[in-house]
Structure 1
Amino acid sequence: MTSTDHDTAPADRTAAGTAPAPAAPARRPRRELAAATVGSVVEAYDWTIYGILAPYFAEQLFPGSSPTAKLLAAYLGFALGFLVRPLGSVLIGRLTDTRGRRYGLTLTVSLIAVGSLLLAVVPGYASIGLAAPLLVVAARLVQGLSVGAENPSVAAYVTETAPGRHRYFYSAVSYGGVVLGSALSFIVLSVLLGVFGESGIENGAWRYGFLFGALLGLTALWIRRGAQESAVFTAAAPGADPAPGPDGAPGKPGGTGGTGPAGAKRAKAPSPWPVLRAHLRRLTVVFAITSGATTAFYFVTVDFPSYAEGTGAATKEESSAALLLGMVALLLAMLGGGRVADRFGALPVLRVGFAGLALGTVPLVLAMSSGRVPVQLVPAVLLFLLGLPLAVSNVFAGQLFPPAVRAVAVGLPTAVAISLFGGTFPMLAELLRSAGHNDWVPWWPAITAAAALAASWGVREHPLPGEPHA
């Protein structure tokens, strides 16, 4: 790695006539990328496993007079977790912008692991009554706070630590953790079905899925604690002390030893709101792009098995198996899209993906329903198209905003969009099916993809990798 791959840490800079400052440790972009990616795996696994296990644990944990009512209650818990994501993006995102990227990354993965552990051990409704669904909701709220800040914290960290010529490829790899986590949730479900059967999962084996998520979280926490702080953050933080901390990493701005080089107290970080108000157009673009991506993602990864079963095209087990092929297509599209974006820019890659989703979702799904297209092809095509905008999204959004507000600015519109369009989608789809309108479901992801495509013209292309950027 050449010295131009990363911004030079302030500790490396010397003024004329002064003694050199202590040298900062060499940057390790691959280790930093691993720290970013592993948390995305945990986030996606813990978030997705709830949605796909809901049909199995709803009977034990939720009250209701019918299986449908209990399932709707479980999906309501799914949606409630999304509602607090904007709050998490502001509260934890603000800590990420003031106390450090590493601080935010370790906090988010700790919280989501605690939520999974609570879901694994919560007693059933028959044992503790209404306390059972209340504990489930509490766990989802904790996870919602965490996930609301996880991806924007990763976006800020990767934007600031990735080598200049490979920013979008690193963006794709870090977001690829979401794909791996989602795929892992379906693999775990397949293993549970193979070992315990459907009745065994309904009788309590679903708890192993959440326990596995808690163990993943502990592993990610260990990896992230060994990651270095972003040198860009260290240089930009008010009153930042660039000297290495006790573990060899740069000192944490806003943390212990809160003094600058002259021994003065660290300046209080300014409010992010004036900066955010100055970037309303960019916030709106991030909101629209996230809305289109999250609706398509939850349609394919969470609702598709129920949709395919409702049309008679496949059983839930067959469509769940088809999703594994789709996840491979998604990951390949992201890695390829990142490489292409590093050469030609992010917006062409993003627009091709959303155009394909807007124009192709409904015809492809209708062809599957009529038997003209095999069920295995649908998730593969849709997730391949979705992989193109997802490949660039972390760095694309991160480069729109200055470092001082980067985590909050990326997190707030992202979390609001996911709450409104992703968190409610499984419940909306279930309501449409129960009303006899299963064929209406794919229209919503197609419409939101079209809106995302239109919004992409609201910003100009970022500077190409290697050029200066805010």
Structure 2
Amino acid sequence: MSTSEIGTGAVPPARTKAPEAPAPTAPAGKAPAPARKPRRELLAASVGSVVEAYDWTIYGVLAPYFAEQLFPGSSPTARLIAAYLGFALGFLVRPLGSVVIGRLTDTRGRRFGLTLTVGLIAAGSLLLAVIPGHASIGIAAPLLVVAARLVQGLSVGAENPSAAAYVTETAPGRSRYFYSAVSYGGVVLGSALSFVVLAVLLGVFGEAGVEDGAWRLAFVFGALLGLTALWIRRGAAESEVFAEEAGKRSKASPWPVLRAHLGPLSVVFAITSGATTVFYFLTVDFPAYAADAGAATKEEASGALLLGMVALLGGMLAAGRAADRFGALPVLRTGFAGLALGSVPLLAGMVAGRVPVPVVTVALLFLLALPLAVSNVFAGQLFPPAVRAVAVGLPAALAISVFGGTFPALAEWLRSTGHGGWVPWWPAITCAAALLASWGVREHPRPDTPVSE
């Protein structure tokens, strides 16, 4: 297939199943490359998602407990706001990380990128665990916190696209979307793990003990989790697609190839925008929305979200299997159509007392599971291997920064101005845009075999 056909929606002709290629051999004098083991490769991709989500979430969860020790301010509120600004800065550097580390993943190898991202995430967590308090080192304390969050933001910006490229190129053909669902399911597990760790710390040390320094143990755990992921990833095999392309890969700028794929880039941006808006609405803002609307207390809404998370994980696995059988686009479009058309009526019914809160969380998170399950590998197949990590990462990171990072603030502003009822319309609109954008590409627009650029 010529480069001009890639990303234009051209469907490749049917192909007979190619024999499995032997594992790449190492040059004389070097250790042999790890043997291909699809399940080990799936574990290598998934464990990074767990680490990424845990480290990203645990900062926000623990901010009320460490803000007074690490940040200056005239009041507890000022210190907490400063801590949350450190959280926001991580979003701003995500696109830069997707370009810088994504380019290394495209030129140095998938294993290189995957080990680099979890190594940086682990280093950031360890730094957060050992930073002395503001009373000891003054302004250096918040500056070190910001430095740690910037490092983690860079690595998180490249973690998911690097894993997406790896899964796209290593998953068995008949289980590719199931592997995509499992690998992205690590994000849900990592987020849930952060709340489990907080619950354990509070149970063991109490609120006063966590504020007095036990919060550091959560970051130590994150660093150990990252080192475990690093060990697993170092033992995984390199993608054969990357290895076969490496010999003819040039060091030329990737931008001409990316400019030739502006259509698929915009599709990835739209799909990520819809999914991330719904995700942040349900996992971050939903308790406040339900309480403001009088539908449930924050505690009741948070409890309902636990059921929704189970539905999200189960839905992702089911959606992966369905996509392997029927194709990714029908699954993705079903999810976005349900969210675009069903979000506002379901939430209106909840506010009116006609639809139970748990039913709403389960229904919406199950619908969200459909695009989340397939988007990683589907997006990876839109681009040539030479630019795959950058091409998936850049529009996704921009979408998360613009739509995910700003949604909680937007929702709070709407409520403060008396327009809290408008909050559900934003996720519905972004999902409608994602649904429309999905018609810009066709199913499996390129074969996943080495293609000369």
TM-score above 0.5, yes or no: yes
Distance (Å, rounded) in 2 between the aligned partners of 1:83 and 1:6: 44
State the 1:26 CA deviation: 4.6
One-letter code aligned to 2:63: A
Q: Deviation digits for residues 8-50 of structure 1, max 9, x if unmatched?
A: 25858xxxxxxxxx99865210111010100111011111222
* TM, length-normalised to structure 2: 0.87
After superposition, the Cα gap between the structure-2 partners of 1:211 and 1:173, relative to the gap in structure 1 and judged at 3 Å, is same
Is 1:377 paired with 2:365?
Answer: no
Is 1:406 matched up with 2:403?
A: no
Higher mean C-alpha deviation, range 350-359 or range 403-412: 350-359
In 2, Cα distance between the equivalents of 1:424 and 1:88? Answer: 19
1:326: which partner in 2? 308
Deviates more, 1:299-308 or 1:43-52: 299-308
TM-score under structure 1 normalisation? Answer: 0.84
Q: What do residues 160-185 of structure 1 show as CA deviations (whole Å, max 9, x unaligned)?
A: 10111111111111111111111212
Q: Which of residues 437, 455, 458 is equivalent to 2:440?
A: 458
Match of 1:343 in 2: 325
1:270 aligned counterpart, secondary structure: coil
In structure 1, how many angstroms separate the alpha carbons of the residues matched to 2:411 and 2:86? 15
Equivalent residue, structure 2, for 1:235: 244
What does residue range 152-167 of structure 1 map to in structure 2 within 5 Å? Answer: 152-167=161-176
1:135 is the counterpart of 2:148: no
What 5-or-longer segments of structure 2 have no aligned partner?
1-15, 26-30
Aligned length: 431
Instruction: After superposition, give the CA deviation of every residue in 1:82-120 in whole Å (9 maximum; x if it has no partner).
Output: 111111111111111111100000000010111112222
| Contact 1:308–1:319 under 8 Å retained in 2 | yes
Alignment equivalent of 1:88, drawn from 79, 83, 97: 97
**Partner of 2:124 in structure 1?**
115
Deviations 1:180-231 (A, max 9, x none): 1112122223333433444544444333322221111111111111111111
Paired with 1:24 and 1:54, the residues of 2 have a C-alpha distance of 42
Change (3 A) 1:424 1:227: same
* 1:368–1:117 Cα change, 3 Å: farther
Which residue identity is paired with 1:132?
A: A
Please tell me whether residue 445 in structure 1 is matched to residue 445 in structure 2.
no
Question: In structure 2, which of residues 379, 382, 407 is the aligned counterpart of residue 425 of structure 1?
Answer: 407
2:166 is the counterpart of 1:184:
no
Say whether the 8 Å CA contact 2:23–2:36 is kept in structure 1: no
1:220 is matched by which residue type in structure 2?
A
Measure, in 1, the Cα distance between the counterparts of 2:162 and 2:280: 22
* CA-based RMSD: 2.7
Identity %: 79
Name 2:21's counterpart in structure 1: 8
Change (3 A) 1:236 1:451: same
| CA shift in 2, pair 1:469/1:235, >3 Å | closer
Give deviations 1:327-360, integer Å, cap 9, x for gaps: 2111111111011111111111111111122222
Gap change, CA 1:427 and 1:131, over 3 Å in 2: farther
Q: Which runs of 5+ in 1 are unaligned?
A: 13-21, 240-266
* Structure 1 stretches of at least 4 aligned residues deviating more than 6 Å after TM superposition: 22-25, 466-470
Partner of 1:41: 50
| Higher deviation after alignment, 192-201 or 93-102 | 192-201
Aligned counterpart, 2:233: 224
1:419 shift after superposition: 1.0
Quickly say closer, same or farther: Cα 1:402–1:420, change in 2 above 3 A: same
> Contact 1:9–1:24 (CA<8 Å) still a contact in 2?
no
